[in-house]
Each structure stands twice: as structure tokens, then as C-alpha cells.
Amino acid sequence: MKRRILATTIAVLAVGAAWVLWPRQVLVLIVLDTTRADAAHGPWIDDLRARSTVFTHALSTSSWTAPATASIFTGLYPTEHGVIGGFRAQQRAAGKEVELTDPAIDLQGLPAGVETLPERLHAAGWRTYGVAANINIGPELGFDRGFDALHRDRNADAGDLLIRLAGWLLLAGPGRPTFLYVHLNDAHHPYRIRRPWFLEPGDAGAQDRAKYDSEIASMDHALSRFTSGLAWWGEPAIALVSDHGEAFGEHGQHGHVFTLHGEVNDVAMIIHRPGNSPARVEFPVSLIDIAPTVLDMAGLDATGSLLRGVDPTRTLFAHRASPTKATTLWTVNQGPWKLLLEEGAARPPTLYDVAADPGETTDIAGDHPDRVEAFLADLTAFQARTGYRGPSVEVELDPALVEHLTLLGYVE
């Protein structure tokens, strides 16, 4: 009896010691939904930026959550992974097809033949946990693939989600490297007043922007608390991006529905590895670079990783199918140049030098006809080699979901 008690005590102590002392590799992918590149600031984010490789000219592949996040998960453009519809309830709404009595919609999910980032990590033995507050990020479109657990709560703020994630991490115990995906939706419309960060604007017209900035500050605060808890596991590797930005009147737009100007197409991108030296990268990079870079951070595969150097003169693209019209927005980016085209519309393409004109206020297409020609040829070649459409899935919209989509601006 005494020996059994002794053996049990030793076993408990050994497990406890292993639990405390076992080195844990933790890799966190943070997606700040709707957070403009120029608004991604706060004490925690700025401190992370000062300790990391910062990409100052990072581009989304689209202007909204489902296609952009699918690019983060696959390293593919929207026309390659096929997630271009998402919860496009607004399209049906425009055609008066959303009826609460028959609210099913067709969606394009992640293609079965493509291994997502969580699937690759999971197959390599990593634990994979995710939390998300955006309605698009769930099992309907295949975003749960490869996760030991993906919790989606469309009403949860950053603090709620991160407490759940911390709980899973504590229960998981020692042993295996762990991937954490954190998709925070606080900055998405409808904006709330978040105290104590809300600063009353002098101009009543700036209320929305002041609320939005307070949402970002509250995410920053929640991330600060979460990562200081993580420090117990050792310093985590962190990839922080936004999926797209948000317009506050620029180019006559509000929100992020149908524009690919910089206020929506530019994103935050910060890559941190324990012990790295801070660096700044100013040439254009894209959300398609995140999956290869995270796999490199995990020590699995360095192919295409931003940390191994990529061609700074690459041509990059973005895509946004109109929710209401038969037109598609495209961008072609190379160096400081940006071409913007609404395919299917009568308007000619516009060209910007975003180094000299970051607000994209002056169309210089007329001064550079050869460059416009070359970019249009690049786009045609790109369209010819992509164009995959993923599998269609039908999703039942219950009235509560339609109400939520309306609140987000997805149903007009």
C-alpha cells in the first residue's frame, strides 16, 4: 500500500514537472478583421511591431473576410481557392431573394483538394485551436478543417474569445507544439463605444471612426493580456495580419463592400519569431504569403516564406466580385504601381503611384499607357491560369442569422 502511494506520488510529481518544464512551441496567427493598415496601432501592437519583421506594404487578396481568410489559409488567390461568394446574402437581397421563409443561399467553400494551413500543421503533429467571431469563419465554408477545435461565436469580443483559448491551452498540457488561430471581429461594423479607449471626436461626423478606433484599442488590450499569459509557455511566435481594411469616406466609400482602394486593400502584417532582429520590408507582399511563412515559422517548409526572401518585383493581384452587379474589381500591384480595374464596367482602368500618392487620389493612367497595357496583359495571363471555382454548398439562414448579417451590412 505504501509503495503504491509512493509510486502514485512520484508519477503525479513527474507529470506535474513535465507539465511545467516541458518546452512548448506556440505559434499564434492573429487576424484582426476590418483593421486598416494605418489603424493597426496600440501599445501592444506597437511593441510587437518594434520587435518584429514589419511589412509596410502588405496587400489583401480581396476586400472582405471569406476570400481574404481563405487566402491566408491556403496561399492562393480567390480565383484559385474559389471562396468568392461566402455569405453573399446581399446579392440575393438585391434580387429580393432573401426571404426569411426560404433563406438558403449557395456558397463556395474551400476546395477539398487543397490542404489548408491548419491541416498541414495538424498532419505534422501540431495541436490546432482556433477562435473566431466572424460569421464566415466556420464549418460551412470549411474553415474548421484541420483544427482540433474551432470555436466560432459571432457575438464574442476579443476578451471572450481569448479567455476560451487560454482555457484550452491550459487543459492541453505539455508535449506537442501548438498552433493558435485568433480571428477577432471587434473592428467590424457595427462599431461600439469601447471605454476607456473611446475618445469623443470634436467633429460629430467622426463618431464612427472614433468608435472604430476604440474597438481596435480594446483588441490591442485583450491581446496584451492574453500574450502576457502565454509568456508562461515561453515566447510565442506570432504572425499578425488584418484581412482587409475599412473606408471612412475615402473614394466615396464606407465600409468594405465594393472597393479595392488602399484604405480597404492594404493590410497590417507583422511577423515575430523569438530572438529575431527587428526589420522593415517595404516592397509589396500579400496575404497569399502568410501560409508559407507560417509553415516556415513552424519549421515545416520554407518554400515561398517571406522570411527566406521573395522577389520584390513580383506582380500581385486582388479580386472582388460585385455583390450586386455583373462586374469584378481587380488590382495589379508591382513595386509602387497599382492598377485598378472594374471588369465588365465601361470605366477605363486607373493607375496610381502609391509611393508618391498613398491616398490614391491622382489617376496617372494617361501618363503611362505602356505600363497600363503591360499590367492588363499580366492580369489576362493571371486570369487564364487561375479561375477555379470551389464546391458549392448550401447554407440554411435562420432568421437570427439573417438579422446578424443585416447588422453587419451583408444584407442591405
Give the residues lining the site for Zn ion (CB under 5 A): 33, 65, 243
The helix/strand count (H/E) of the chain reads as 12, 19
- The least CB distance from residue 34 to Zn ion, in Å, is 5
Task: Considering the complex, state which of residue 76 and residue 133 has its C-beta at the smaller distance from Zn ion.
Answer: 133
- Angle in degrees, 0-180, between the axes of helices 43-50 and 207-230, rounded to the nearest 10: 60
Contacts of residue 85, defined as CB under 8 A and 6 or more positions apart, other chains included, come to 66, 91, 106, 107, 108, 321
The 3-state DSSP class for residue 113 equals coil
Smallest distance, Zn ion to C-beta of residue 99, A? 26
Nearer to Zn ion, 31 or 48 (CB): 31
Kindly state the helix (H) or strand (E) to which residue 69 belongs, with its residue range.
helix 65-74
Residue 391 has which C-alpha cell? Answer: 464546391
Q: Which is nearer to Zn ion, 240 or 379 (CB)?
A: 240
Select 266 or 296, whichever has its Cβ closest to Zn ion: 266
State the minimum distance, in angstroms, from the CB of residue 101 to Zn ion. Answer: 29
Which residue number, 65 or 91, has a Cβ lying nearer to Zn ion?
65
Cβ 64 to Zn ion shortest distance, Å:
6
> Is the Cβ–Cβ distance between 289 and 297 less than 8 Å?
no
Q: Which is nearer to Zn ion, 45 or 257 (CB)?
A: 257
- Cβ 98 to Zn ion, closest distance in Å? 21
Q: Which residue is nearest to Zn ion (CB)?
A: 65
- CB-based contact 390:109 (threshold 8 Å): yes
Judged by beta carbon, residue 33 or residue 80, the one nearer Zn ion is: 33
- Closest among 87, 52, 137, 73 to 294, alpha carbons compared: 73
- Other beta carbons less than 10 A from residue 217's beta carbon: 24
The least distance separating Zn ion from the CB of residue 287, rounded to whole angstroms, comes to: 11
Residue 61 to residue 63: CA distance in whole angstroms? 7
Q: How far is the CB of 218 from Zn ion (least distance, A)?
A: 17
Collapsed DSSP state (helix, strand, coil) of residue 168: helix
**Residue 43, preceding bond cis, omega within 30 degrees?**
no
- For the bound state, the minimum distance from the C-beta of residue 266 to Zn ion, rounded and expressed in Å, comes to 14
Q: Are 341 and 379 in contact (CB under 8 A)?
A: yes
Q: Measured between alpha carbons, how far apart are the two ends of the chain, in Å?
A: 72
Q: Quick one: 186 or 243, whose CB is closer to Zn ion?
A: 243
Cβ count within 10 A of residue 33? 25
